[in-house]
């Protein structure tokens, strides 16, 4: 089936990737597939309950598309980046995210994690992963990339990104490099506003573009464009890359010779919707050269976007040739990866997901990623008397982002520590305590107690930072575990004992606690630069 055999309405349907609400096909997604010929779906945590439910959901979606007369199966995508963006949650193997993989420095581990992740996705009927992130995170103030990046060295990011592309390809999963031309050197979250990167092409060639070139050479089938403006590169200096022919057709298509499918980031994000309106921006994106436009959440905007494309064709703002070229790239991608005959059967996917080799890979990868940055007092490994207390401090944290799928419950850390030491106490720390009564915290604990604190972006959260500084200045023993960005040490550089796990998941914390008690050696290396080391 060639794209020429599709009606114009069917071609338009191939240009959208949409999300929906619920763990079964909603009336909205059914209508979009049946009536509007939408050929691509994105799943989020809101669509996930358990393995059998996800498999049944993907099967139902494909059956709806097939019965509606769609000529190719749906692309069913998800953001299973691992680490802090892990839409499948506990129903799949918890593997390290990118910066933890960056701490291992191992292409072999990155390849194996991608292949295993891809195999699990395929078992669930998901055929596209919006990963790997290949942004070079060289800005500690970046609020949205951070540990989603492999690190700040473009060659490291390039090596591991290419390895993951090859791993996904081995699993027959469509991978996606993101966020082109690079979202690492920003201090603004594009979900909320429009970041600006003021650099020339010469600078991008030496840093941001290096991993994208490597990933494309490794065989990446798709690239996602970021909602960022590059005033030195675009025809209008306030135009986001997502809407810029200079970025999409000039830089990516011609300069990097990319021939695959180009995706937009979600067009409901604030960087786009607040300035242009989602429906208007969808038309502009297709005009600029985007093949697959994401409208991830609201049915009203999804339907309006289709209507807007139809109206743009009628008014000759968009040509049928532009629509056809974009649809053709999507259809060709589907033809390479998908067929109705190869969709997963009705048997349970559990056997493919609960594989012993994946559990071993999980333990190995987290062990290799755990990073002991400082142990200046030789406090680790801990050698505690039975009556000594470990006091786990639990502050409020204010730096999580809209993309994260994980909560930070310190009960988990307590539970793991209790497997190694009998006396572990959880002590909540309120903002009021931080501001007025930090001395009371010291009075209610003993001199011999060991404080343990899991920090989450404390370099951008003064309350967490002040708590650590107060304890350090008191002379008490404190172990900080940076469970997200490793830059936290910048906020309390006098700290003597500092570990990095890069994420707050059970296997990451288990690996850290094993290091704390000398059961394992920390083998990770910081993939970013931290002053004062």
Instruction: Please write the tens of the pLDDT for every residue from 247-256.
Output: 999 999 999 9
Domains of the chain: which residue ranges? 3-352, 370-516
> What phi and psi, each to the nearest 5 degrees, are found at residue 504?
-115, 70
The structure tokens listed for 266 are 């979600």
The one catalytic residue among 265, 291, 410, 488: 265
Q: How confident is the model at residue 441 (pLDDT cuts 50, 70, 90)?
A: confident
- Report, as an integer, the average pLDDT of 358-370: 97
Q: Which residue has the higher pLDDT, 436 or 66?
A: 66
Rounded CA-CA distance 305/464 in Å is 43
CB environment 35-51: b (16+ within 10 A), e (fewer):
ebbbbbbbbeeebbeeb
Instruction: Using a pLDDT cut of 70, give the percent of the chain over it.
Output: 92
Residue 23 is encoded by which pair of tokens?
A: 């763990």
Q: What is the mean pLDDT of residues 372-389?
A: 95
Rounded Cα gap, residues 211 and 177, in angstroms: 9
First to last CA, the chain: 60
447-464 average pLDDT score = 91
Q: What is the mean pLDDT of residues 107-134?
A: 97
User: Confidence class of residue 437 from pLDDT cuts 50, 70 and 90?
Assistant: low
C-alpha span between 35 and 225 (Å, rounded):
28
Residue-level pLDDT at 141: 83
Residue 343's pLDDT band, with cuts at 50, 70 and 90, is confident
Whether 532 is a known active-site residue: answer no
C-alpha 405 chain-centroid distance: 9
In 124-186, where does DSSP find H-type helix? Answer: 154-170
- The pLDDT of residue 4: 73
Q: What's the confidence (pLDDT) of residue 197?
A: 85
- What confidence category does residue 407 fall into, taking pLDDT thresholds of 50, 70 and 90? low
Asked if 157 and 202 touch (Cβ cutoff 8 Å), the reply is: no
User: How far apart, in whole angstroms, are the C-alpha atoms of residue 206 and residue 212?
Assistant: 12
Q: Over the stretch 14-39, which tens digit does the pLDDT of each residue have? A: 999 999 999 999 999 999 999 999 99
- What residue has token string 């990155």? 110
Q: Does domain 370-516 have CATH number 3.40.50.1370?
A: no
Asked if residue 189 has pLDDT above 80, the reply is no
Q: Is residue 505 scored above 90 in pLDDT? A: yes
| CATH 3.20.20.300, domain 3-352, yes or no | yes
Q: Which of 191, 255, 493, 525 is catalytic?
A: 191
Six-digit token string for 315: 């008014």
69-98 pLDDT, tens digit per residue, is 999 999 999 999 999 999 999 899 999 999
Q: What is the mean pLDDT of the chain?
A: 91
User: Is 429's pLDDT higher than 90?
Assistant: no
Given this model, what pLDDT does residue 425 score? 94
User: Are the beta carbons of 343 and 31 closer than 8 angstroms?
Assistant: no
CA angle 400, 402, 405 (to 5 degrees): 75
Q: How many residues does the chain have?
A: 533
Record the pTM. 0.95
* Higher pLDDT, residue 150 or 399: 150
pLDDT in tens, 261-319: 999 999 999 889 888 999 999 999 999 999 999 999 999 999 999 999 999 999 999 99
Pairwise CA distance, residues 238 & 12, whole Å: 28
Q: Give 401's pLDDT tier (boundaries 50, 70, 90).
A: low
Tokens of 352: 């493919």
User: What distances in angstroms separate CA 415 from CA 362, 411, 455, 513, 522, one per listed residue?
Assistant: 20, 6, 17, 11, 21
Query: Does residue 191 carry a catalytic annotation?
Result: yes
Mean pLDDT of 447-453: 91
């Amino acid at each position: 089936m060639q794209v020429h055999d599709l009606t114009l309405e069917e071609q338009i349907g191939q240009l959208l990737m949409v999300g929906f609400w619920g763990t079964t096909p909603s009336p909205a997604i059914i209508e979009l597939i049946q009536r509007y010929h939408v050929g691509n779906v994105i799943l989020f945590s809101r669509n996930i309950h358990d393995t059998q439910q996800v498999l049944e959901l993907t099967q139902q979606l494909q059956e709806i598309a097939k019965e509606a007369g769609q000529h190719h199966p749906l692309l069913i995508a998800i953001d299973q980046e691992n680490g802090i963006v892990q839409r499948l949650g506990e129903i799949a193997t918890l593997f390290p995210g990118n910066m933890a993989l960056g701490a291992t420095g191992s292409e072999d581990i990155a390849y194996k994690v991608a292949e295993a992740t891809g195999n699990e996705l395929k078992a669930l009927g998901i055929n596209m992963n919006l990963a790997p992130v290949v942004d070079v995170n060289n800005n500690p103030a970046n609020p949205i990339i951070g540990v989603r990046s492999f690190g700040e060295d473009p060659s490291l990011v390039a090596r591991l990104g290419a390895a993951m592309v090859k791993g996904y390809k081995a699993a027959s999963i469509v991978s996606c490099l993101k966020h082109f031309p690079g979202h690492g050197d920003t201090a603004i979250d594009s979900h909320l506003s429009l970041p600006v990167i003021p650099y020339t092409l010469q600078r991008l060639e030496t840093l941001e573009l290096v991993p994208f070139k490597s990933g494309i050479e490794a065989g990446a089938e798709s690239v996602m464009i970021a909602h960022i403006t590059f005033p030195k590169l675009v025809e209008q200096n306030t135009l986001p890359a997502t809407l810029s022919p200079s970025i999409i057709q000039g830089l990516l298509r011609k300069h990097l010779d990319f021939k695959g499918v180009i995706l937009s980031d979600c067009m409901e994000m604030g960087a786009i919707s607040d300035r242009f309106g989602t429906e208007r921006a969808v038309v502009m994106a297709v005009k600029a050269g985007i093949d697959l436009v994401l409208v991830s959440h609201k049915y009203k905007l999804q339907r309006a976007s289709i209507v807007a494309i139809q109206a743009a064709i009628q008014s000759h703002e968009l040509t049928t040739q532009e629509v056809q070229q974009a649809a053709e790239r999507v259809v060709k991608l589907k033809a390479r990866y998908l067929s109705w005959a190869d969709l997963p059967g009705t048997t349970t996917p559990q056997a493919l997901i609960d594989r012993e080799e994946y559990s071993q890979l999980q333990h190995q990868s987290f062990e290799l990623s755990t990073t002991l940055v400082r142990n200046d007092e030789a406090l680790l490994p801990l050698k505690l008397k039975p009556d000594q207390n470990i006091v786990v401090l639990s502050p409020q944290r204010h730096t999580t982002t809209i993309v994260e799928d994980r909560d930070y419950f310190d009960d988990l850390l307590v539970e793991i520590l209790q497997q190694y030491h009998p006396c572990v106490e959880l002590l909540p720390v309120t903002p009021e305590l931080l501001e007025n009564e930090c001395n009371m915290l010291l009075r209610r604990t003993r001199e011999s107690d060991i404080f343990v604190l899991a920090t989450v972006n404390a370099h951008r959260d003064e309350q967490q930072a002040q708590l650590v500084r107060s304890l350090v200045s008191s002379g008490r023993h404190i172990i900080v575990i940076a469970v997200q960005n490793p830059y936290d040490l910048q906020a309390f550089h006098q700290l003597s004992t500092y570990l990095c796990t890069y994420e707050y998941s059970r296997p990451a914390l288990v690996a850290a606690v094993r290091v704390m008690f000398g059961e394992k050696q920390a083998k990770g290396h910081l993939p970013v630069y931290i002053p004062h080391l």
